[in-house]
Amino acid sequence: MTASPASKARPASKAEPASPANPASPAFRAAPASSTWAQVGPLLRQWRERRRISQLELALRADSSARHVSFLENGRSRPSQAMVLKLAEHLDVPIRERNTLLVAAGYAPVYGETSLADPSMDGLRAAVERLLEAHDPYPAVVVDGGYDLVAANRSMSVLLEGVAGHLLEPPANALRITFHPEGLAPHILNLKQWRENLLERLRRHIAVHQAEVLTRLHDEIKDFPAPPGHQDVGQELGETSFALPLRLRHRGRELAFIGAVSTFNSPWDVTVSELAMETFLPANPETAKAVRGWV
């Protein structure tokens, strides 16, 4: 099964990044008025405090001084574009939020946000399809930054048998499919544990990205009622005690999977930076045998 990717904004120009050393570049001329640059200071402070590091430690990482970092955070000095990007890198700021920092400092964004339907993404889409096919017969899915379904392999289509059709209509959301009473929830044996596990992951993402769409999704999932008559069996310690398995009943069999998440290294595009592939690996021989007959 492959869902149509949600449309993304057109990419920012990559012809020549804005640079204080190159004021003639188109991106630099498109930057907001300099009167707004003081907004970047509080944002830098928030990211530094979120990472729980001191001004001195950040300064050492960025080859600067604690005094200069203090001036930047207090709005007494304007950071260069290069300094904004350097501090963002050492603070492990996500790509999307790095653009926000640049705009707050009075510069234009340098990272594009390209729709997956754009011809320039043909290579990426082909690579994603190959990865998904390679993981058959083990279920695998690719989601975007809002956990909306981008693509899935054939085994995942089998696993989603019985899910209500309205949950699979684009933009289908992987978490909503999993925990909605008309989704996978009635078939998940350790539903309470698995939901808390994914909600905790979602809370970590919210802490990093501060995205309102993720907060709304968290609150929606948290309030889903248990499916009628559902009995949660929890987790039994044993051969899968090294990680929490997803335990569910499918076609009359009890299956157990361990999830593994993969992302792209060193992305230069917001869309690519937020893609994640989750693969469900058999947690026991019985599950491995069952899925081999799916495709």
Q: With CA atoms as reference, report the closest residue to 188 among 237, 253, 258, 247.
A: 247
210, pLDDT greater than 90: no
Q: With CA atoms as reference, report the closest residue to 192 among 239, 232, 159.
A: 232
Distance between CA atoms of residues 16 and 26, nearest Å: 7
> What does the pLDDT look like over 171-198, one tens digit per residue?
999 999 999 999 999 999 999 999 999 9
Question: Where in the chain do CATH 1.10.260.40 domains reside?
Answer: 26-104
The structure tokens listed for 102 are 């640049």
CB 189 within 8 A of CB 182: no
| Helix extents (H) in 21-140 | 26-29, 40-50, 55-61, 66-74, 81-90, 95-104, 122-135
CATH superfamily of 26-104: lambda repressor-like DNA-binding domains (1.10.260.40)
For residue 10, report the phi and psi dihedrals to the nearest 5 degrees. -65, 150
Going across the sheet that includes 246-250, the strands are 149-152, 140-143, 276-282, 253-262, 246-250
| Helix extents (H) in 91-180 | 95-104, 122-135, 154-159, 165-168, 174-179
36 pLDDT band, cuts 50/70/90, is: low
148, pLDDT greater than 70: yes
> What does the pLDDT look like over 68-124, one tens digit per residue?
999 999 999 999 999 999 999 999 999 999 999 999 999 999 999 999 999 999 999
Determine the CATH number of domain 119-291.
3.30.450.180
Question: Where in the chain do CATH 3.30.450.180 domains reside?
Answer: 119-291
CB 145 within 8 A of CB 209: yes
> What does the pLDDT look like over 212-221, one tens digit per residue?
899 999 999 9
